[in-house]
Chain A
Amino acid sequence: MNGPVLKVSGLTVSVGRGARRHVAVQDVGFEVPAGGSLGVVGESGSGKSLTLRALMGLLPPGVRAERGVVELAGEPLPFAGPRARSVRRGRLAMVFQDPLSGLDPVHTVGAQVAEVPRRVLGEPAAASRRRAVELLRLVGMPDPERRSHAFPHQLSGGMRQRVLIAMALASEPKVLLCDEPTTALDVTVQAQVLELLDDVRRRLGVAVVFVSHDLAVVRQMCDRLAVMYTGRLVETGRAADVLDHPAHPYTLGLLEAVVDLDDVDHMPVTIPGTLPDLAHVPGGCPFHPRCRFASEDCAREVPPFRYLNDRQWGTGEEGTGEDGTGEEGTGGEEGTGGEARGTACKYPERVTAG
């Protein structure tokens, strides 16, 4: 299949009405190739979870997707309305953060997994049950035949998360959206679940969009990365490129603030200032009050998101361009979902130098 399996452009989501209305996601776009993995990174208020929900057609009441196009294998999906859910069945599935609230406590896990093939794919009951056991085996649940009769509260957190993943895979989606699926899990269990997701991705060719606040986890899991801040996309690119050679001061700030287990000498440095209230985002570049590279024009104009010349930012080689500004619309993102490297900073070269 040519082209990305998932393509999002210009997604804008607003919350509230009238005077209280504010934009929670502004003009977000990215692509995911078939079988690829994209990590979406940000802190609270970054809009990463709302973005996923908009993709899934699961926006809560009072929250509206105002603009934007979501295309699955080339076909646009509506955000709301009667067809919103049905059109996503069997193509898009979501894994939530909290396995306890994602599962119905009064039904066995086997029944819940089997419900998907039965209702979504229309398979008969017995076949659905067999499929459920297969899926539980696929997600690494030991003794799946017997365990499928267990209730959610009888399983550990890691097992419950596997059940959620099984349910998501049961509809044979092309894209799996994961909203912080391992945040509530212990480190060793998280490692198991991440390994499972990676395994599933390779074997079934399912594309994964992985939302997290944990940079180390997305480094491990994802080929590509999108960094969000106050609802806006601030940087995209290959995961290794973004994390090793950040092109936006916020990404650099996050990297400096994170404590890494191996990097013993690096003491974490906090990003000055605080995350702004979404209703009062600073004018101009939203990050400018906290940015040590900011200049006057950063406060005046919102810098547009643009693509960078890949060679300068990917391999660390010295580029031939003088100031590193890329051209709009190039960088290989057309149709390949490829290595598009983008930033919302006007002066990304300051980030490398500083």
Chain B
Amino acid sequence: MTTFVGRYGPGPAPEGTGPDGAPVVARKRPRSVLAYRARHSPTLIIGATITLGLVLVAVLAPLISPYAPDHQDLYNILSGFSSKHLLGTDELGRDELSRLIWAGRTDLRVGILAVIFPFCFGTAMGTLAGYRGGWLDTVVMRAVDVLIAFPFYVLVIGLIFVVGAGTTGIYVAFAVVDWVVYARAVRATTLVVRESDYVAAARTGGLPDWRILWRHVLPNTITQAVVYLTNDVVLVIVAVVTLGYLGLGVQPPTPDWGAMISEGQEFLTTYWALATLPGIAVLITGLGFSLLGDGLADVLRPQ
């Protein structure tokens, strides 16, 4: 390695070397800082545990569910907790625990899939609008303004009526409605990052815009979107459950927490578990994802 020979002779050791000349690159690299923070964030740990647990249960449903969700045990209708049916049975003799597990599988799957398009599309739109400005920005932001002005459920239900109830309807409805919040958040951060010197340096370096966006802008703006994603999953899952409750979501015979709540309503006085257990399941799911989001926000905050 050639040594730096200043015009005044060998000169002092290069900055950054210790007294013995060995290179000193002090302090930890960002990756290990993230890992450190992750290990010390109780919110993240608890959130991640709950979420992962739920996902595991959902994925392993065929293996761990004691019964098939539509298996009817007609001798044990509306029975309470027992050794045969840990959480009892519903009015058709179906095992409650199994139904909870399978409904969770459905709702989680639909909820997570439904946010993918809004996340990608919203982030892309926000980035382009923020970076390019001009007419693109105006068009995108006006669309955002219009969509945000509508109450969320009004739009979603309206769209489902148009497209038809069921999972397709859900995916379409959220694709149309849900991307706007990502776009707004990402656009705001992009506006700031766009003015930073390292983006200007990339421009003077001759790098094309798409490359600058991909390597320099996006990595610095996407953490906000990711954190919001975890919260959005909660919203979407709750919305899926609500739609199921209204009969507009996942259609029977596929089990769904919302439908379970709706069906269990009429037995509230006789056998409350049917309506409340799915609600508790939704609660725990929401808690898990929220804590995960909070934890991530904490860990990913700028150094």
Query: Can you give 21 A-B contacts (C-beta < 8 A)?
Result: A267-B8, A269-B8, A269-B12, A270-B12, A270-B15, A271-B12, A272-B12, A272-B13, A273-B12, A273-B13, A273-B15, A273-B17, A273-B18, A273-B19, A274-B15, A274-B16, A274-B24, A277-B26, A289-B18, A289-B19, A290-B19
Contact mask for chain A residues 266-282; partner B; CB cutoff 8 A; 1 contact, 0 none: 01011111100100000
Closest A residue to B19 by CB, please name it: A289
User: Which residues of the partner chain A approach B8 to less than 8 Å between Cβ atoms?
Assistant: 267, 269
Minimum CB–CB distance from B147 to chain A (whole Å) comes to 35
Task: Indicate the size class of the contact surface on chain A.
Answer: 10 to 19
Bitwise, B11-44 to A at CB < 8 A (1) or not (0) is 0110111110000101000000000000000000
Minimum CB–CB distance from A289 to chain B (whole Å) comes to 5
Give the residues in chain B near A273, CB-CB below 8 Å: 12-13, 15, 17-19
- In the assembled complex, which residues on chain B have CB atoms less than 8 Å from the CB atom of A274? 15-16, 24
CA distance A267 to B6 in the complex (A): 12
Q: Which of B12, B17, B24, B26 gathers most chain A CB within 10 Å?
A: B12
Looking at the assembled complex, report how far the CB atom of A45 sits from the nearest CB atom of chain B, in whole angstroms. 14
CA distance A270 to B8 in the complex (A): 11
Residues of A within 8 A of B26 (CB): 277
Residue-wise interface mask of B (178-205) relative to A, using a CB-CB cutoff of 8 A (1 in contact, 0 not): 0000000000000000000000000000
Cα–Cα, bound, A289→B13 (Å): 12
**Which of chain B's residues 126-153 have a Cβ closer than 8 Å to chain A?**
none
A334 CA to B285 CA in the complex, in Å? 72
Residues of B whose CB lies within 8 Å of any CB of A are 8, 12-13, 15-19, 24, 26
Closest to A274 in B: B15
A270 to B26, CA, bound (A): 20
Q: Which 3 A-B pairs have the closest CB atoms?
A: A272-B12, A289-B19, A272-B13
New contact pairs (16) apart from A267-B8, A277-B26, A289-B18, CB-CB < 8 Å: A269-B8, A269-B12, A270-B15, A271-B12, A272-B13, A273-B12, A273-B13, A273-B15, A273-B17, A273-B18, A273-B19, A274-B15, A274-B16, A274-B24, A289-B19, A290-B19
In the complex, which residue of chain A has the Cβ closest to the Cβ of B12? A272
Whole-angstrom CA separation of A194 from B16 in the bound complex: 36
Interface positions of A from 74 to 133, Cβ below 8 Å from B: none
Complex Cα distance, B18 from A1, in Å, reads 51
Q: State the A residues within 8 Å of B (CB).
A: 267, 269-274, 277, 289-290
- Docked pose: A274 CA to B24 CA in angstroms: 10
Complex Cα spacing A134 to B24, Å: 56
Q: How far is the CA of A289 from the CA of B15 in the complex (A)?
A: 13
Q: Nearest Cβ distance between residue A170 and chain B, in whole angstroms?
A: 38
Question: B residues within 8 A CB of A272?
Answer: 12-13
**How distant is A299 from chain B, measured CB to nearest CB, in Å?**
10
Bound: A273/B15 CA distance, A = 6
Q: Which residues of A contact B17 (CB under 8 A)?
A: 273
For residue B15, which residue of chain A has the nearest CB?
A274
A271 to B26, CA, bound (A): 19
Measured CB to CB, the nearest residue on chain A to B16 is A274
A79 to chain B, nearest CB (A): 31
Residue among B15, B19, B24, B26 having the largest count of chain A Cβ atoms under 10 Å:
B19
Residues of A within 8 Å of B18, CB to CB, are 273, 289
In the assembled complex, the Cα of A267 lies from the Cα of B11 at a distance in Å of: 13
Residues of A within 8 A of B13 (CB): 272-273
Q: Which residue of B lies closest to A290 (CB)?
A: B19
Which residues of the partner chain A approach B16 to less than 8 Å between Cβ atoms?
274
Closest to B8 in A: A267
Residue of B nearest to A294 (CB): B19
CB distance from B195 to the nearest CB of A (A): 19
* B184 shortest CB reach to chain A, Å: 27
Residues of B within 8 A of A267 (CB): 8
Give bound CA distance, A269 to B6, whole Å: 11
CA distance A270 to B18 in the complex (A): 15
**Nearest opposing residue in chain A for B7, CB measure:** A267
Bound form: Cα–Cα A13–B15 in Å: 29
Report the minimum CB–CB distance from B5 to chain A (whole Å).
Answer: 14
The residues of A that contact B15 with a CB separation of less than 8 Å are 270, 273-274
Assembly CA distance A269 to B18 (angstroms): 18
- Which residues of chain B are within 8 angstroms of A271 by Cβ–Cβ distance? 12
Please name the residue on chain B nearest to A276 by beta carbon: B26
Most buried by B among A269, A270, A273, A277: A273
**B33 CB → nearest A CB, Å:** 15
Shortest distance between the CB of B189 and any CB in chain A (Å): 24
Give Cα A24 to B138, complex, Å: 51
Closest to B27 in A: A277
Inter-chain CA distance A290–B26, complex, in Å, is: 17
The answer for the CA separation of A269 and B8 in the assembled complex, in Å, is 9
Please measure, in the bound complex, the distance between the C-alpha atom of A83 and the C-alpha atom of B8, giving whole angstroms. 56
- A280 nearest CB neighbor, chain B only: B26
A65 vs B18: C-alpha distance when bound (angstroms): 32
Max chain B CB contacts within 10 Å: which of A270, A272, A289?
A272
CB distance from B187 to the nearest CB of A (A): 27
